[in-house]
Amino acid sequence: MKTEAFDYNLPRELIAQHPLANRDESRLLVLHRDTGQIEHRRFKDLGEYLRRGDILVANDSKVFPARLYGRKTSGGKVEILLLERLDAHNWKAIVGGKRLDAGKIIELEDQDGRSSGIKATVVEVLDGPQRIIRFEEPVDDELETIGHTPLPPYIHEELNDADRYQTVYARPLGSAAAPTAGLHFTVDMLFDLRGQGVLFDTVTLHVGLDTFKPVEVDDIFDHHIHSEKAILTPDTARRINETKLAGGRLVAVGTTAVRTLETGALRSAGISGSLADISRRDAAGETTNMCPWKPVAAFEGPTDLFIAPGYRFRAVDHLITNFHLPKSSLLMLVSTFAGRELILEAYESAVLEQYRFYSFGDAMLIL
């Protein structure tokens, strides 16, 4: 399938530049896969679509101040986006700046643009703008004073409150971008859902490079996702499986939660391989995009699961998600879950209704 099949037109003014004052006041497009019906609601109405015994599973990874600024000792501005801590001194990063070859030394600035006294060296050139950066001293404890919130490139306005780019349940530091589907939840809303009998649990996937990487190949089967660290604990896996056995539904909050849960289901079923490999096996089965339910297995480690048409879902029943960029792997995932034509119809409806798009935008519930 061609990447062009996942394109759509979006007026620039619909790209949300700031979060709403109240998280749960964002709009909620409810898409019914069985009928194609579309409803326009508010996120705070979510509980009307959930049942006692359902389980919400969200990604609890916390965004760290991953964007650094500095200058080469030889001159020239540099921007560094930290992606993955390799050890106490070395990080995998995306860099912006000219001639950042191995051996280049960078003097980092603090949040006020002054010299921080911390230096870093490019030690290895990877694909494209990726580099291995070595800091003279560990920077983990310095990031709060030298780091900046790593907002996506389509957000051009300053964020006054960095906590608004965090979910209210964020815990382990590790993401270079927020799992944005969860930004709509408030603490009160989660308590209300619990009172309704809806369970809530978390997995962890530290969001990395592919949030910033568009699908640039013509054929989606030629696209490769870099691995990201994910954790599905034994306790969470047990609660999910018990919920499903009792007749409850698994509602994933965001595409990163989907990828973690489906990775757990594939591991439980002993299935591995690329999207093309898995899709070929799935194509030999039923034509529906849903498999018979498979339990999820606990795991801790990398996942490079790329979900696109041809993949059949094994764990997730329903999905809460934001609106995604054209020709992105995230749009391919939701198109696989609901059907490409239906998703593009829903996106067209959202544009006509003036929904707010992307990270600080509105949400969609796919039933």
Delineate the domains of the chain, giving CATH numbers in brackets.
Answer: 3-63+162-366 (3.40.1780.10), 67-146 (2.40.10.240)
Mean pLDDT (the chain) is 93
> Which of 16, 22, 344, 302 shows the shortest CA–CA distance to 154?
16
pLDDT tens, residue by residue, 93-126: 999 999 999 999 999 999 999 999 999 999 999 9
Q: Does residue 285 carry a pLDDT above 60?
A: no
Distances (CA, A) of 174 to 82, 145, 159: 10, 17, 20
User: Of all residues in the chain, what percent carry a pLDDT higher than 70?
Assistant: 96
Provide mean pLDDT across the span 79-103.
95
Report the C-alpha gap between 67 and 320 in whole angstroms: 28
Whole-prediction pTM: 0.93
Residue 140's pLDDT band, with cuts at 50, 70 and 90, is: very high
CB 64 within 8 A of CB 175: yes
Percent of the chain with pLDDT over 90: 84
Q: CA nearest 161: which of 356, 18, 362, 14? A: 18
Q: Residue 242: CB partners within 8 Å, gap ≥ 6?
A: none
* Mean pLDDT within 289-316: 90
145's tokens: 């004073």
Average pLDDT over residues 238-265: 97
Residue 357 CA to residue 324 CA, distance in Å, equals 7
> For 3-7, 217-221, 243-247, 337-341, which range has the lowest pLDDT when averaged over its residues?
217-221
Once rounded to an integer, what is the mean pLDDT over residues 171-193?
Answer: 97
The pLDDT score that the predictor gives to residue 283 is 61
Contacts of 332 (CB under 8 A, 6+ apart): 6, 215, 220, 307, 308, 309
Helix then strand then coil, % of the chain, to nearest 5:
30, 30, 45
* Amino acid identity, position 256: T
